[in-house]
Amino acid sequence: MIKILIVDDSALMRKLLRGIFEEEGDFVIETARNGKEAIEKNLSFQPDVITLDINMPEMDGITALAHIMTTRPVPVVMVSSLTTEGALATFEALNLGAVDYIAKPGGTISLNIEQIKGELVAKVRSAARAKLRTKTLVRKLREEREKILKPSPPKEVSPKEVSADERLVLIGVSTGGPRTLEEILPELPKDFPMPVIVAQHMPPTFTKSFAERLNSICELNVVEVDRPMPVEPGTIYIGKGGTDVVLARRAKKLIVQPKPENPSFLWHPSVEILGRSALEHCDPQKIIAVMLTGMGYDGADAFTEIKKRGGKTIAESEESAVVFGMPRELIERGGATVVLPAEKIAKQLIKWAKENNVSRGEKC
């Protein structure tokens, strides 16, 4: 049985969510009306997982989350509105230790709750099994406090030096990804010579805010791929939610662009589609592909093919992955050149970039 604490100030939402998990038959359910009650019931009820609303009276979800993660850490799925403000609050929550998030349905809640039912149950079950990275949590909380007390200076943007050999890094990531990317990408120096293209499973209204957040903490420039763009060193490209992100050629120049979601694939932006487009338009020997935390198997086949054809790949290790599904699938297919915890991935990317030994081919 999975013990779940549902936290929401709406009596209707608490009732509907309770009904969803009662239908599953293997949940023990408790509810709370605000953040203050959530903190108390986290200690008394001791749930295996919490669903936590963001906007609540008396104590909001972000404040409650910070208390939960410092008193009795537990996997938390944030329930967020699909707005710019909701996105920013969600990323703050993920940075504080939340495992995942679900979009709260708009309009008539009782009618639209069915739209998120399957996804919600799947995310809660996955969260209940997720690994909390408690060793880095205290450090993250301390860093957040330091940022508030001492804001970082504006980032200096240096002119790009365009590389002729078009080496590139691909990153595939899902559940637990935003916090993991915030650990890895800021470690890449401003002279990192390879562009980085990220397929992070995320809804449409979230990716712009996420790219802006990353841009504020990374030395490299970070942009959302909302139109065709030239692929250049010194830039991290975040696939736009609600689309698939692909590589293509325009006048023989490598570009990255969004395209409509392919219904044949389960997750979007699709890591598999990104990987296949790279295989089609680039020399695989010049690709480094990184598979991070997430449910499912998205990208495992394409990244395995990249390795078979001479590229390098990294799978995040089980010890650091919030959800080990996607990296495990890559490893089991024999598609991982190395398996590393998240905190060592940036150093490996820098090492390979400095070695400059990703073979030079004819296509790129």
Q: Which of 201, 244, 268, 317 is catalytic?
A: 201
The domain segmentation of the chain, as residue ranges, is 2-140, 168-355
CA-based nearest residue to 267, from 305, 297, 226, 247 = 297
Amino acid at 361: G
Give φ, ψ of 171 to 5 degrees. -130, 130
2-140 with 168-355: one CATH topology?
yes
Q: What is the pLDDT of residue 180?
A: 94
207 burial (CB, 10 Å; 0-12 / 13-18 / 19+) is buried
Q: Which of 126, 298, 317, 320 is catalytic?
A: 298
Does CATH place domain 2-140 in 3.20.20.70?
Answer: no
What distance in Å separates the CA atoms of residue 321 and residue 328, rounded to the nearest whole number? 10
Is this model's pTM higher than 0.95 or not?
A: no
Q: What is the pLDDT of residue 82?
A: 59
Q: How far is CA 21 from the centre of its chain?
A: 25
Q: Which of 81, 174, 270, 320 is catalytic?
A: 174
What distance in Å separates the CA atoms of residue 364 and residue 361, rounded to the nearest whole number? 6
pLDDT tens, the chain, 364 aa long = 999 999 999 999 999 999 999 999 999 999 999 999 999 999 999 999 999 998 898 899 999 998 999 899 999 999 877 566 678 888 888 888 899 998 876 655 555 788 889 989 999 999 998 877 655 554 554 555 455 444 555 555 443 433 446 899 999 999 889 999 999 999 999 999 999 999 999 888 889 999 999 999 999 999 999 999 999 999 999 999 999 999 999 988 999 999 999 989 989 999 999 999 999 999 999 999 999 999 899 999 999 999 999 999 999 999 999 899 999 999 999 999 999 999 999 999 999 998 864 444 334 4
Look up 67 and say whether it is catalytic: no
* pLDDT tens, position by position, 163-203: 446 899 999 999 889 999 999 999 999 999 999 999 999 88
Look up 264 and say whether it is catalytic: no
Does CATH place domain 168-355 in 3.40.50.180?
Answer: yes
